[in-house]
Amino acid sequence: MQDLKLFQKSYDFYEEVYPTLKNFPQSERFVMVQKIQDSFLEFISHIISARKASNTLHHLRKADRELEKTKIFFRLSRDLGFISSGQHENISEDLVELGKMLGGWIENEK
């Protein structure tokens, strides 16, 4: 059940943050935006794989790494002025919540 909640929260987060990504400077859409999208969509992909695979913990750990990359890319985006501090704060809160949900699932799999 927690896997479905994590997937849905991740899906909703991406829908919410997508308009923000579209507002990045044109020069960053194929660099920073692509990095953010790649890492977060890989996060979702590993969540899906963890639900279906026999090596669940392997996929959860990969998801954790992708989530950490996503957090770093958003922090860098704030520091470079692509998003405001307020936007970063909201995004960070959601990413921390996703991390807690993922961490709980990882603990249950150990």
How many domains does the chain contain in total?
1
95-107 pLDDT per residue, tens: 999 999 999 998 9
Q: What does the block give as tokens for 95? A: 């990413």
CA atoms within 13 A on the CB side of 33: 16
Question: pLDDT-derived band of residue 29, with 50, 70 and 90 as boundaries?
Answer: confident
Q: Which pTM value belongs to this model?
A: 0.90
CA 96, 101, 94, 36 dihedral sign is positive
Mean pLDDT rounded to a whole number for the chain: 93
Question: Do the Cβ atoms of 87 and 20 come closer than 8 Å?
Answer: yes
Question: Tell me, what amino acid is at 57?
Answer: L
DSSP alpha helix (H) spans, the chain: 2-22, 32-52, 56-79, 85-109
Q: Could you tell me the residue range of the domain that residue 51 belongs to?
A: 2-18+26-109
At 5-27, the pLDDT tens digits run 999 999 999 999 999 999 999 88
Domain of residue 84, CATH code: 1.20.1440.60
